[in-house]
């Protein structure tokens, strides 16, 4: 166990939040605070650092119970606004997957497909308060005799609606380029041939898991900003992989940790849950989320002071190396470089563009800061931390 | 040298007339056609950059108008729907004229319609389809 000069508990910080005395800053502000004061003084001064990210996040969706009809139905196949949803749960429970396209979508038969409406758009329409059509089919049982059912649903009228995203907030992600001679359409956007552009997708120094790279404060029960409301970390997300190469400061050099997160959909907003269409790839949802990180000691002050100069990722060829799974990286770049708007690949200058909204990530960190300082948003102490990797130092 | 980026709408009755070449022959103007969709018997559309002496540009455009061509500048026909735009920046790596660009201090995504050439690349690149172009193609699923 490391010995710290500053030792704070979740309870002590929550006590300060309750009495309105907690010092809360954003992950951007923390960089200069630690630079000017040092880690120990910063840890004495600051109680909570807020983070944020707003980006397309596949592996998102919502559980909805649409209410029993009379006579009842054990829905086997269900569509909401024409989008197939998962019905193999119970009688009237469904899961709307964000990446599910509309049943009549031509997909990539009209190439490249536009994917203009899917599960992500259904979720956005629900939180926008719209009325959506629901159609269900069933084989009929003695207890649930009905075989067909149609109704209009709104978020306020359904008995239960919970956003539950199995994998969000990826800790780092590849920067994608295309080395082939043809334009390709990927979940990392349109990639033009011969390194025509480079796309990246995290909020860098504001990103939640970059600010707690070994998950020392984040786990089951962490209270977060989610979709404009309050949410919680359930557990590690799917594909959570802490065991990747890391920098001296502990930052994973490639995709690593992920979070499964949840929250009551009824308190969320269409500004922070936005259906997206990725040309030639599919549909998804952009999710706004932010995690408050308690400054329990000077190590957490040091961790949250990470800046874009310290964060690196790998430039991968999505034309060949990525689909073939070779894992080969063309180049390691810093987020500071990516944010300048270009990278150098050999003697070629390649324009670099984000798919993740930095202004909106900053807005989330600001909202969370305000919620904690003014609205008594308390920290959730994790009941179990995420699986982690040993620090190399 | 005066330069204008224009969208020309040709009514169906005149799409068979050679008009644009006259800008060069009679008005000493230089034109660069960026996009053209001219079919017999249907309304035609052309996006072109016109350059020359200011006076000649004015006279050339007056000539086109007299022939029945409707003239609009590109920035009148292209619009970013700021209610939809989620400020991600996906468009900025693909926009050839940097009309869509990022303010590096704030990382805000900005749109300068005066620099737009009307290429429409940004329309399908945008994950929320925030770029609205009046002469653009129809959507597959509305």
**Predicted pLDDT of residue B1:** 81
* Six-digit token string for A227: 């979709």
In terms of DSSP bridges, do strands A175-177 and A312-317 run parallel, antiparallel, or are they unpaired? parallel
* Six-digit token string for A130: 């719209």
CA distance A189 to A64: 30
Residue B94 has its nearest CB partner, among A55, A116, A190, at A190
Contacts of A340 in chain B (CB under 8 A): 104
Residue B140 has its nearest CB partner, among A114, A198, A275, at A114
Residue A278 has its nearest CB partner, among B92, B102, B127, at B127
Distance from the Cα of A357 to chain B's closest Cα (Å) equals: 4
Q: Is the CB of A358 inside 8 Å of chain B's CB atoms?
A: yes
Asked if residue A121 lies in contact with residue A283, where contact means CB atoms within 8 angstroms, the answer is yes
Please, which residues bridge with residue B36 across strands?
Answer: B46
Q: What number is the ipTM of this complex?
A: 0.94
Tell me A210's DSSP state.
G
Contacts of B110 in chain A (CB under 8 A): none
* Six-digit token string for A144: 């649930």
Asked if residue A246 lies in contact with residue A392, where contact means CB atoms within 8 angstroms, the answer is yes
Q: Is the CB of A297 inside 8 Å of chain B's CB atoms?
A: no
Distance from the Cα of A64 to chain B's closest Cα (Å) equals: 24
Q: Is the dihedral angle over the CA atoms B88, B91, B97, B99 positive or is it negative?
A: negative
Q: Is the dihedral angle over the CA atoms B95, B99, B100, B105 positive or is it negative?
A: positive
| Number of CB atoms found within 10 A of residue A374's CB | 10
Asked if residue A185 lies in contact with residue A112, where contact means CB atoms within 8 angstroms, the answer is yes
pLDDT in tens, chain A (393 residues): 679 999 999 999 999 999 999 999 999 999 999 999 999 999 999 999 999 999 999 899 999 999 999 999 999 999 999 999 999 999 999 999 999 999 999 999 999 999 999 999 999 999 999 999 999 999 999 999 999 999 999 999 999 999 999 999 999 999 999 999 999 999 999 999 999 999 999 999 999 999 999 999 999 999 999 999 999 999 999 999 999 999 999 999 999 999 999 999 999 999 999 999 999 999 999 999 999 999 999 999 999 999 999 999 999 999 999 999 999 999 999 999 999 999 999 999 999 999 999 999 999 999 999 999 999 999 999 999 999 998 754
Cβ contact (<8 Å) for A116 and B128? no
Total beta-carbon pairs less than 8 A apart between chain A and chain B: 89
Residue A277 has its nearest CB partner, among B92, B109, B129, at B129
Cβ contact (<8 Å) for B93 and A359? no
Cβ contact (<8 Å) for A358 and B128? no
Q: Which of B87, B83, B22 is nearest to B56 (CA)?
A: B22
Contacts of A186 in chain B (CB under 8 A): none
Distance from the Cα of A281 to chain B's closest Cα (Å) equals: 11
Cβ contact (<8 Å) for A190 and B92? no
Scanning chain A, the segments in alpha helix (DSSP H) are 10-18, 27-45, 119-127, 298-304, 321-324, 335-338, 358-374
Cβ contact (<8 Å) for A197 and B94? yes
pLDDT in tens, chain B (142 residues): 888 899 999 999 998 889 999 999 999 999 999 888 888 888 899 999 999 999 999 999 999 999 999 999 988 889 999 999 999 999 999 999 999 999 999 999 999 998 998 888 999 999 999 999 877 554 333 3
Distance from the Cα of B98 to chain A's closest Cα (Å) equals: 11
Q: Which of A141, A140, A132, A188 is nearest to A317 (CA)?
A: A188
Angle at which helices A27-45 and A358-374 pack, to 10 degrees? 30
Q: Is the CB of A86 inside 8 Å of chain B's CB atoms?
A: no
CA distance B25 to A68: 75
Residue A286 has its nearest CB partner, among B86, B107, B109, at B86
**Predicted pLDDT of residue B40:** 83
**Predicted pLDDT of residue A349:** 97
Taking chain B, what is the end-to-end CA distance rounded to the nearest angstrom?
A: 43
Please, which residues bridge with residue B47 across strands?
Answer: B7, B35
Taking chain A, what is the end-to-end CA distance rounded to the nearest angstrom?
A: 14
Cβ contact (<8 Å) for B89 and A56? no
Contacts of B87 in chain A (CB under 8 A): 357-360
Asked if residue B73 lies in contact with residue B108, where contact means CB atoms within 8 angstroms, the answer is no
Structural domains of chain B in order of their starting residue, each with its CATH number: 2-74 (3.30.70.260), 76-133 (3.30.70.20)
Q: Which of A74, A159, A79 is nearest to A122 (CA)?
A: A79
Cβ contact (<8 Å) for A189 and B90? yes
Q: Which residues of A are catalytic?
A: 143
| Number of CB atoms found within 10 A of residue B36's CB | 13
């Amino acid at each position: 166990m490391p010995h710290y000069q500053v030792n704070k508990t979740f309870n002590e910080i929550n006590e300060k939040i309750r009495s309105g005395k907690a010092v809360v800053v954003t992950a951007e502000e923390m960089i200069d605070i630690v630079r000017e004061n040092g880690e120990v003084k910063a840890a004495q001064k600051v109680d909570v650092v807020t983070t944020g990210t707003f980006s397309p996040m596949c592996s998102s969706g919502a559980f909805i119970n649409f209410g029993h009809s009379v006579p009842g139905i054990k829905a086997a196949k269900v569509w909401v606004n024409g989008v197939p949803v998962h019905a193999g749960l119970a009688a009237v429970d469904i899961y709307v997957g964000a990446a599910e396209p509309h049943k009549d979508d031509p997909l990539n038969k009209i190439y490249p497909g536009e994917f203009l409406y899917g599960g992500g758009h259904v979720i956005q329409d629900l939180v926008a308060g719209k009325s959506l059509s629901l159609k269900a089919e069933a084989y009929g049982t003695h207890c649930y005799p009905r075989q067909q059912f149609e109704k209009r649903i709104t978020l306020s009228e359904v008995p239960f609606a919970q956003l539950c995203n199995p994998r969000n907030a990826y800790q780092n992600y590849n920067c994608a380029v295309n080395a082939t001679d043809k334009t390709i359409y990927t979940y990392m956007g349109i990639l033009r041939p011969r390194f025509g552009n480079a796309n990246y997708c995290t909020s860098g120094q504001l990103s939640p898991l970059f600010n707690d790279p070994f998950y020392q404060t984040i786990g089951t029960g962490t209270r977060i900003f989610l979709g404009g409301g309050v949410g919680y970390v359930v557990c590690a997300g799917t594909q959570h992989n802490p065991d990747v190469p890391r920098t001296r400061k502990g930052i994973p050099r490639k995709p690593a940790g992920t979070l499964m997160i949840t929250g009551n959909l009824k308190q969320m907003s269409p500004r922070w849950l936005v259906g997206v269409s990725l040309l030639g790839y599919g549909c998804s949802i952009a999710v706004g989320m932010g995690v408050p990180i308690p400054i329990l000691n000077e190590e957490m002050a040091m961790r949250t002071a990470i800046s874009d100069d310290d964060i690196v990722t790998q430039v991968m060829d999505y034309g060949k190396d990525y689909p073939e799974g070779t894992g080969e990286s063309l180049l390691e770049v810093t987020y500071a470089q990516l944010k300048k708007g270009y990278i150098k690949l050999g003697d070629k200058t390649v324009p670099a563009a984000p798919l993740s909204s930095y202004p909106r990530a900053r807005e989330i960190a600001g909202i969370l800061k305000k919620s904690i300082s003014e609205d008594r948003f308390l920290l959730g102490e994790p009941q179990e931390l995420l699986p982690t990797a040993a620090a190399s130092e | 040298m005066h330069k204008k980026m224009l969208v020309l709408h040709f009514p169906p009755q005149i799409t068979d007339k050679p008009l644009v070449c006259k800008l060069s022959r009679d008005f000493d103007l230089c034109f660069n056609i960026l996009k053209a969709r001219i079919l017999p018997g249907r309304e035609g559309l052309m996006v072109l950059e016109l350059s020359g002496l200011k006076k000649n540009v004015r006279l050339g455009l007056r000539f086109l108008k007299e022939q029945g061509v409707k003239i609009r500048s590109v920035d009148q026909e292209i619009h970013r729907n700021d209610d939809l735009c989620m400020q991600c920046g996906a468009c900025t790596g693909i926009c050839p004229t940097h009309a869509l660009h990022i303010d590096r201090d704030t990382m805000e995504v900005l749109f300068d319609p005066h620099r737009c050439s009307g290429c429409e690349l940004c329309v399908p690149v945008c994950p929320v389809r925030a770029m609205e172009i009046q002469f653009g193609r129809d959507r597959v699923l509305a």
